Amino acid sequence: MKSRSANFSPEALNQLAELSKVSPKLIAKLSELLNECLRSPFEGRGKPEPLKGDLSGYWSRRINDEHRLVYKVDDNYIYVFSCKGHYD
């Protein structure tokens, strides 16, 4: 199996820029979670869980109590849709 790459939505890129100004530690944790997602998208740290309802087909991992990483997976990419807030 070839390795996946990360693909960020414009909204997720904006959120990443906002978070980087506020908390470098949060960005470091997000980076660790993302690397783990690339290797193993459905298990590991951050309590990966499939989302339901309007977000069915997406997954989330906890970055901290306030922020979640929301993503979708296919064979080639982890599509990151959000990394700030809780399912905004």
* Helices 24-39 and 10-22, packing angle to 10 deg: 140
Residue 15 lies in a domain: yes
pLDDT tens digits, 10-33 = 999 999 999 999 888 999 999 999
Task: Judge whether 58 lies within some domain.
Answer: yes
Residue 75 belongs to some domain of the structure: yes
pLDDT at 86 over 50: yes
Give the residue-averaged pLDDT of 25-53.
94
Give me the number of domains the chain comprises.
1
Residues belonging to the active site: 49, 86
Let me know if residue 87 belongs to a domain. Answer: no
33: domain CATH number? 3.30.2310.20
Q: Tell whether the model's pLDDT for residue 88 goes beyond 50.
A: no
Residues spanned by the domain of 12: 5-82
> How do residues 53-77 score in pLDDT, each as one tens digit?
999 999 999 999 999 999 999 999 9
